[in-house]
Amino acid sequence: MTDAIAAEWHKLRSLRSNAYLLAVSLLAVLGCAGVAYLIGRGFDRQTFEERLGFTGIGAGLGTGLPIAYVVFGTLGALTITAEHATGLIRTSLAAVPRRQVFLFAKVPGLAAVTLVAGQVLAFAMHGAAQAVLGSRADQLLLDGGTLGTSLAEPGVLASVAVSGLSMTAAALVGLGAGAAIRSTPGTLVALVLVFLVLPVAAQALPSPLRAQVGSYLLENLPAQVAGVDGLLPPVAAAALLAGHVAVALAAGATVTALKGRRLRPLLAGAAAVLLMALTAVLPTVLPAAGLSPGVPEGPAVAPASGDAGGAASALAWRPCADKDAPGDLRCASVEVPLDWRKPAGRTITVPVAMLPASGAGRRIGVLFSVPGGPGGSGIDDLKQHHARFAKLRNRFDVVSLAPRNTAVPGGPLPYACLSTGPWITLPGDRAEWAELARANREHAERCRAADPELFDHMDSASVARDIEAVRVALGEPRLSFLANSYGGHPAEAYARLFPARVRAMVLDGAADHQEPVAATEPALYARLERQLVRFAAWCRADTACALHGRDVAGVWRRLVTAADRKPVPVRGDPSGAAYSGFDLKVAAGPSFVSPGREPEVPRWVQLAAAIEKAEGGDASGFADYVRQATGSAKVPSAAGQNMTHCLDGKGYGSYAAFREALREAERVSPHFAGQRSWWPLACAGWPAPVTNPPAPLPARGLPPLLGVGSWTDHDEVARAVRRVPGSSSLRYEGHGHTLYVSGPGGCVTAHVNRYLISLRLPPPGATCPGAG
DSSP string over 207-233: TTHHHHHHTTSGGGHHHHHTTSSSSS-
* 56 and 147 Cβ atoms separated by less than 8 Å: yes
- The full length of the chain comes to 772
CA 169 → CA 25, 117, 467, distances in Å? 15, 12, 47
Angle between helices 16-24 and 64-86 (to 10 degrees): 160
Nearest-angstrom CA–CA distance, 67 and 372 = 52
Strand 330-337, strand 568-569: pairing: unpaired
For the CA atoms of 138, 157, 757, 715, what is the dihedral angle to 10 degrees?
-50
Strand 479-484, strand 365-370: pairing: parallel
DSSP conformational letter for 336: E
Q: Model confidence over 147-200: pLDDT tens digits?
A: 999 999 889 999 999 999 999 999 999 999 988 898 899 999 999 999 999 999
* 496 and 463 Cβ atoms separated by less than 8 Å: no
Nearest-angstrom CA–CA distance, 67 and 29 = 9
What contacts 24+ positions apart, CB below 8 Å, involve 217-221? Answer: 217/280, 218/69, 218/166, 218/169, 218/170, 218/173, 218/194, 218/244, 218/280, 219/62, 219/65, 219/66, 219/69, 219/166, 219/195, 221/162, 221/166
The residues, ordered by sequence, that sit 6+ positions from 727 with a Cβ below 8 Å of its Cβ are 704, 705, 706, 707, 721, 761
Strand ranges of the sheet holding 767-769, from the earlier edge strand across to the other edge: 318-319, 330-337, 347-355, 396-401, 365-370, 479-484, 502-508, 706-709, 728-733, 767-769
Segment holding 707, helix H or strand E: strand 706-709
Three-state DSSP state, 693: coil
Nearest-angstrom CA–CA distance, 576 and 572 = 8
> At residue 412, what are phi and psi to the nearest 5 degrees?
-70, -20
- Specify the pLDDT at position 8: 72
Segment holding 768, helix H or strand E: strand 767-769
- Specify the pLDDT at position 81: 86
Nearest-angstrom CA–CA distance, 549 and 1 = 96
CA 608 → CA 614, 622, 685, distances in Å? 10, 10, 36
Alpha carbon distance, N-terminus to C-terminus of the chain: 72
- Specify the pLDDT at position 112: 93
* 182 and 77 Cβ atoms separated by less than 8 Å: no
* 122 and 164 Cβ atoms separated by less than 8 Å: yes
- Specify the pLDDT at position 262: 52
Q: How many CA atoms lie within 13 A of 723 on its CB side?
A: 16
> At residue 208, what are phi and psi to the nearest 5 degrees?
-90, 5
- Specify the pLDDT at position 381: 94
**Neighbouring-strand partners of residue 732:** 768
In the predicted model, residues of the chain with pLDDT beneath 70 are 3, 10, 259-312, 772
Nearest Cα to 488, choosing from 470, 514, 520? 514
Nearest-angstrom CA–CA distance, 608 and 541 = 13
**Neighbouring-strand partners of residue 367:** 398, 480
Output b/e per residue, 666-685; b: 16+ Cβ within 10 A.
eebbebbbbbbbbbbbbbbb
Which amino acid is it at 185? Answer: P
Nearest-angstrom CA–CA distance, 735 and 747 = 14
> At residue 411, what are phi and psi to the nearest 5 degrees?
-75, 175
Nearest-angstrom CA–CA distance, 129 and 366 = 35
**Neighbouring-strand partners of residue 729:** 707
Nearest Cα to 168, choosing from 249, 209, 111, 210? 111
The percent of the chain in helix, strand and coil, each rounded to the nearest 5, is 55, 10, 35
Nearest-angstrom CA–CA distance, 730 and 709 = 7
Number of other CB atoms surrounding residue 43 within 10 Å: 15
Nearest-angstrom CA–CA distance, 763 and 728 = 7
Nearest-angstrom CA–CA distance, 126 and 123 = 5
- Specify the pLDDT at position 266: 52
Nearest Cα to 671, choosing from 757, 554, 771? 554
- Specify the pLDDT at position 409: 81
CA 540 → CA 385, 528, 536, 550, 608, distances in Å? 36, 18, 6, 8, 12
Q: Model confidence over 344-394: pLDDT tens digits?
A: 999 999 999 999 999 888 899 999 999 998 989 999 999 999 999 999 999
DSSP 449-460: TT-HHHHTT-SH
Nearest-angstrom CA–CA distance, 741 and 507 = 12
* 676 and 668 Cβ atoms separated by less than 8 Å: no
> At residue 468, what are phi and psi to the nearest 5 degrees?
-65, -35
- 509's torsion region: left (phi>0), alpha (psi -120 to 50) or beta? left
